[in-house]
Chain A
Amino acid sequence: MPGIHYYDLRHVTGQVTLIDIDNGVVESAGTSFFNKAVIRVLSKTGWGVLQIDNYTPCTGKKFEAILDAACRLAKITQEHVILGKAPHGILPVPPMKEDPRDVCIEEKSSLLSGIEQAARHPLVVNTRANFIEKIENVHFVDSSENEYFYEVCRSGFNVLAVASRNGNVQMGYEREHSIHGFNLRHKQSCGKKAAEIATALLDAGAAKAGKMRAVLDPELAGVFAHEAVGHASEGDLVNEGNSVLKGKTGQKIGNENLTIIDDPGIHEFGFDPVDAEGVAVCRTEIIKKGVINAFLHNRETLSSVGNGIAGHARAMPGEPPLVRMSNTFIEAGDSTEHEIFEECRNGIFLKGSRGGQVDPGRGIFQFNAEYGYLIENGECTTMVRDVSLSGEILVTLHKIILCGNDRTMSPGYCGKGGQSVPVSDGAPHILLYDAVVGGSGVD
């Protein structure tokens, strides 16, 4: 069509099954449905985007009318956009060990209830467990006749235990989410662990704030990679000038032992068989041996920024794609866990994640551990609660002294631009010098 340089359509249909059990009561258990499409048209001056609920696939004049509407919308845009060349292609979606659709909701509910019951304990005043199963059927087509169909199912659960004693209220929270199929069987241990943490935290002291040596467990170190490095390497932020990593390609910002990767192609929770604009996904080494190596891109930011790899466009159903992380991790090093604690000697061990946030332009990040332990003479001693870590990206990366040899990945969700997408973060145990630890404890 005249005036259209490029278009693509991403149509996602599917269903979500949720079960919520709160203190033994099945609050809700059922299935909902969705059908959402997004059509993007690139005109001479920019993008016109239509978000359509209940999209019925169409061709010929009907489809042309949709393209025309998006094209008219693009008339208010003012920027000449060039799309970088990127390879197309799709990876197979790994088969599930057990398809959750083959398990009836009564059984799911009963298994979830078992996990929730396992979190009960005399000091626990509330137990809550949620199951979520989301099936997405994706159809992508663009003006260059690239067309992909795939189905992906994500399922998993969260379990929360709240312990209370004399007005002190603490929580333990465990979760497992996967693309590998149904995972509610034999998971009572997760409920038990949530209760153990919640009750143990009743006796934990508040962490004392200040600069100290810190050991981060793989989950929290993964969040560190995500918040402190991943976001600042997103091509759209770099392009806007809203990243401290802008213009620093080739510069050394961390130690030799630090390599940070984003790879949508590995079979973790952030897996995408193809990105949201039809580009083949592949591994991007954001930081290689301490040096800024490559940014995460979509086709537009690849052409305007360069220095990186496209294939990182992701979107919620019906939303326009944004440059996003998928599976982000710090590569394993060669230190053993024992060596890391020995080298730390005295400091703090931070475990688990309550989430984090970053201001990539300012290069400031903040995130919170679920709990921690003081490290004294290389050994974990007293448990502490409500410990956070914050700092400046460009200062902190130089302070990663050791990386362990034991990388693991943890699933989660990442928010940006009002869209939430599944991700995984991971790392080995890492040792950080001069970590700025927050907590409300005082001498």
Chain B
Amino acid sequence: MTRWWVAVAWIDQLLSEAQKSVDEAEVFFVKGTSVSADLKQRKVNLATFSEDYGLGIRTIHKGRIGSSSTNNPGQWRECLLAAVASGKLATPQEWKGLPDPVHLSRTPLSFDASISIEPQVVIELIEKMLEGAEEHPADVAAGSASLSSGRVTLANSNGVRYTNKYTGVSLSLEAIHGQSTGYEFDHSCFLDKVDPVSVGEKATFFAMESDNGKEIATGEYDVLLSPLAYGELLGNVFTPALSGRNVHAGRSRFAQSLGEPVTDLQITMYDDPLLKKANGSVRWDAEGTPTRQVVFIRDGILETFAYDLKTAYRFGKTSTASAIRGGFGGLPSIGHHNFIVDGKRAAVADERVIYVHNVVGAHTANPMSGDFSVELSNAFWMIGGEYETPIRSAMLSGNVFDLHHTISGLSKESRAIGSMILPSIRINKQRIIGK
């Protein structure tokens, strides 16, 4: 710990330099390495090693927030000048200060000490995926395995000096059988939490099982969305509507819905940043506010929105420690750490249902109204939990907000999809458009 702070002594220098011209300053510094191998069909074609740096500086002076970033920490002086200059243009706002330091456990939540950034380890993961892919007679088209590790440092002029180590492993495989494709992936911060054999097996399974799909007539059907398909709709439309910034800016359909039912009453949605071994776990958010569990929707009722400091100060709210940063050196914005959809679990596939593994085009949904039309990918008639007949090609059309009122069941198992942990959801009477 001490050695790390000696290595980044320039951060203290930066903060004291900044305070000569602004009220407050904040430094966010990330240093990471990663190694990956890419498959072209069944052979490794490319191996990559990367070393990444990101430095983001924010300055606050009389309520004006300035910012700049660089991936060259040696260039911090120019970056600081750019941040101060940018603050002069920003509209001043109500500002009650950056967080003060508090004592937080230094044990990282998403760090696996056994992960070493070695090419040999990614090759072993690739071999296991290929072994799993052998299970079914589909061809491997492409795939990749990668390992990453790094350290995030946050410091501010109030004395906050936090640092956090992280690791990650991610796997993906694409398979094809005739004109039918299958895709599977897995990711975790812990090496023993990913299952490369299963990734390979599922990718070739979906490619094979989806072959010779049958047409479906246009009509209303009961649909079971896998965590992957559900996550696409949720992340593109629903979670942005919970952002305090979107709410106060008039860009959220939930703006007037606090205290009202916004989903079926069996649904609870919350962010749990302190969940052990989960991908997004962290003890402090991207601007140093200590994290805590935030329940957005409890038993169907909307309880709160997500806030960072800037939005909270502006609208007289409290930060929910929901600040995140996209990529290396990005500015803080409102997001979530581990977004969990929970509720009463049930056997959701006993009665005949259309199981949708993935969807194509969810990002084209209307984020304001929630209306969407997506193409189904790896969809099947399912009965008693068994895959029955594959569906060749069809569109699912509806409204992301409205469908939450028609959820009739959550699967027993949940799965991590990026920073979300989701069950499969059964929704009744959804419109499917056949070809």
Binding site for B on A (CB under 8 A): 19, 22-36, 46-54, 69-70, 73-79, 81, 105-106, 109, 125-126, 128, 162, 164, 167-171, 206, 209-211, 236, 239-242, 244, 318, 320, 354-359, 361-368, 385-388, 390-392, 436, 438-440, 442
**A69 contact set on B, CB distance < 8 A:** 49
Answer yes or no: B204 CB below 8 A from chain A CBs. Answer: no
- B139 and A206 within 8 A (CB): no
Residues 352-371 of chain B, each 1 if its beta carbon lies under 8 Å from chain A, else 0: 00000000110111111101
CA of A49 to CA of B119, assembled, Å: 12
| Given A52-B51, A357-B363, A388-B373: A32 in contact with B69 (beta carbons within 8 A) | yes
Do residues A386 and B371 form an inter-chain contact, with CB atoms below 8 A? yes
CA distance A168 to B51 in the complex (A): 47
Cross-chain contact A240 with B141 (CB below 8 angstroms): yes
**Is B363's CB under 8 angstroms from A355's CB?**
yes
A167 partner residues in chain B, CB cutoff 8 A: 253, 256
User: Per DSSP, are chain A's interface residues mostly helix, strand or loop, or mixed?
Assistant: strand
Q: How far is the CB of A109 from chain B (nearest CB, A)?
A: 6
Q: Is B6 among interface residues, defined by CB-CB distance under 8 A?
A: no
Tell me if A27 and B360 are in contact (CB < 8 A). Answer: no
Which chain A positions have C-beta within 8 A of B70?
32-35
Across the interface, B141 reaches (CB within 8 A) one of A35, A242, A320, A439, namely: A242
> Closest A-chain residue to B220, C-beta based?
A442
Please tell me if the beta carbons of A354 and B90 are within 8 angstroms of each other in the complex. no
Chain B residues 87-145 with CB under 8 Å of chain A are 87, 89-91, 93, 119-120, 122-123, 139, 141-142
A-B contact pairs, 12 of them (CB 8 A): A28-B65, A49-B47, A49-B49, A76-B44, A76-B47, A168-B369, A171-B368, A241-B141, A366-B361, A366-B373, A367-B361, A392-B435
CA distance A46 to B180 in the complex (A): 29
B48 and A126 contact, CB distance less than 8 A: no
With an 8 A cutoff between CB atoms, is B174 at the interface? Answer: yes
Interface residue from A77, A236, A244, A442 paired with B47 (Cβ < 8 Å): A77
User: Inter-chain contact count A-B, CB under 8 Å?
Assistant: 264
Pick from A28, A70, A73, A362 the residue with the most CB of B within 10 Å: A362
Give Cα A247 to B139, complex, Å.
Answer: 16
Task: Name the B residues within 8 Å of A355 (CB-CB).
Answer: 361, 363-364
CB < 8 Å: which of B74, B218, B374 contacts A54?
B74
Apart from A73-B47, A240-B40, what 19 extra A-B contacts exist at CB < 8 Å? A26-B90, A32-B82, A50-B50, A53-B72, A54-B53, A54-B74, A77-B47, A105-B86, A167-B253, A210-B433, A242-B174, A242-B181, A355-B361, A364-B360, A364-B377, A366-B360, A366-B364, A391-B435, A436-B395
CB neighbours (8 Å) of B50 from chain A are: 50-52, 318
**Chain A nearest CB: distance from B20 CB in Å?**
19
| Contact (Cβ within 8 A) B71 A385 | no
Q: Is the CB of B71 within 8 A of A53?
A: yes
Residues of B close to A244: CB separation below 8 A: 179
Interface check B79, CB cutoff 8 A: yes
Known: A79-B44, A320-B46. Is A32-B329 also a contact (CB below 8 A)? yes
Of B40, B181, B371, the residue contacting A239 (CB under 8 A) is B40
Interface residues on B, range: 35 or more
Q: Chain A contacts of B35 at CB under 8 A? A: 73
Please determine whether B41 and A25 come into contact, CB atoms closer than 8 angstroms: no
Binding site for A on B (CB under 8 A): 35, 37, 40-41, 43-53, 65-75, 78-79, 82-83, 85-87, 89-91, 93, 119-120, 122-123, 139, 141-142, 174, 176, 179-181, 218, 249-251, 253, 256, 329, 331, 360-361, 363-369, 371-375, 377, 393, 395, 397-399, 431, 433, 435
Distance of A40 Cα from B431 Cα, bound (Å):
49
**Contact between A51 and B48, CB atoms less than 8 A apart:** yes
Q: Is the CB of A440 within 8 A of B395?
A: no
- CB pair A386–B375 under 8 Å, yes or no, is no
Beyond A73-B119, A366-B374, whether A46 also contacts B47 by CB under 8 A is: yes
- Chain A residues positioned under 8 Å from B371 (CB to CB): 206, 385-386, 439-440
User: How far, in angstroms, from A25 to B311 measured CA to CA in the complex?
Assistant: 12
Complexed CA–CA distance, A167 and B72 (Å): 47
In the complex, A96 Cα to B186 Cα: how many Å?
46
> Which B residues touch A73, using CB under 8 A?
35, 47-49, 119
B91 and A25 within 8 A (CB)? yes
Q: How far is the CA of A301 from the CA of B96 in the complex (A)?
A: 57
